[in-house]
Structure 1
């Protein structure tokens, strides 16, 4: 169980932060940027949940995802290889968590109106909020991919973020009356407007 009694420690006043293990790193470090952006994605999902009162199943799934995102953040905040003999192994994202997202995508996507164009972020308040969460999750994924190119990183973290952004897209369509109220992209619409 985590116990946090002291909120400020002043240890970061020099512009560094402590990871789960290893030396302190600058707050602009790519690893810190990766797990910080995962935290930002989590916060946007929290905002989206304000709009889920009429969709309790989506709210329940988003609640589980918020917990999983803490696992992703912990994973990214733990650099280096794990000691196989450690009494307490590092918290790592596992394939079963990504598989849960895939099952939800398949479930929700089955009843959606077929896409006829790209979807613009918008529609209902829940759909718009889920699109914001999707774009922040994509940014977290891009940063994590960049981190993985330079440091040992759990590849499941990248897969999880990739699937999560897909699920958030599908859920946004569900929130838009199963896609019937999606706001669709109309290419070149302003090219036809007369001055």
Structure 2
């Protein structure tokens, strides 16, 4: 069975509830940007050094499918009845990660460049795509009814990606120091 339906050949697409809209609608642009973000999050999770960070990012990737699904539905009640949704618990999860990582990472005393590690740089890409998606969501929510919990969740996401980027940069810094200490130890002791 082919993956193409030809239904969009004239510039429209089907939403989650089966209704059709123009592909350039703000709704499609908004959930499409969150889809772009989720693909970037998937890439970031493959680059992470920390297994904990990988697991956290995978949990967020999963939740983003439900965020996109809700935005991609004209009849939100149908979506809420038939799918998992973003809840205040999801907002609290992001806040708990932000708070815990902020407490354990070195304090930032100046402007930082976006990513000193590969994973950190990719997570900063996630942060910037998230901010673009949030701006689109704000425009979208000015004309469409959205649940307030979605606004809170989306608002926490860019801060979440920022702190995850800092975490991966710090993990990479610790790895480099460890490698340098081992290298110097081996050089002084003659161990190979």
Q: TM-score range by the shorter chain?
A: 0.7 to 0.9
Matched, 1:112 2:108: no
Q: Is the 8 A contact 1:138 1:165 kept in 2?
A: yes
Q: Deviations over 1:157-192 (max 9, x none)?
A: 2221211110110111111217979xxxxxxxxxxx
What is the CA distance between 1:46 and its match in structure 2? Answer: 1.1
Cα contact 1:130–1:168 (8 A) shared by 2: yes
Query: Which has a greater percent of helix?
Result: 2
RMSD: 2.3
- Equivalence for 1:25: 21
Matched, 1:58 2:53: yes
Q: Which TM-score applies when normalising by structure 1?
A: 0.81
User: For the residues of structure 2 that align with 1:87 and 1:43, how far apart are their CA atoms?
Assistant: 24
Q: Are 1:74 and 2:69 counterparts? A: yes
Q: 2:119 corresponds to which residue?
A: 126
Contact 2:50 / 2:171 at 8 angstroms: preserved in 1? Answer: no
Question: What's the counterpart of residue 135 of structure 1?
Answer: 128
In the alignment, is residue 35 of structure 1 matched against residue 31 of structure 2?
A: yes
- Give the distance between the partners of 2:72 and 2:31, measured in 1 at CA: 6
Give aligned pairs, total: 174
Q: Could you say what secondary structure the match of 2:9 adopts? A: helix
User: 1:148-163 residue pairs with structure 2 within 5 A?
Assistant: 148-163=141-156
Compared with structure 1, are the counterparts of its residues 117 and 179 closer, same or farther at alpha carbon in structure 2 (3 Å cutoff)?
farther
2:170 to 172, 177, 187: 177
Instruction: Kindly indicate whether the alpha-carbon contact (under 8 Å) linking 2:19 and 2:74 is maintained by their aligned counterparts in 1.
Output: no
Unaligned stretches of 5+ residues in structure 2: 175-192
**Structure number, greater radius of gyration:** 2
C-alpha spacing 1:118/1:80, structure 2 compared with 1 (3 Å):
farther
Extract unaligned runs of 5+ from structure 1. Answer: 182-195
**1:116 to partner: Cα distance:** 1.3
| Pair 1:46 & 2:39 matched | no
State the alpha-carbon separation in 2 of the partners of residues 147 and 87 from structure 1: 19
TM-score of the superposed pair, with normalisation by structure 2: 0.83
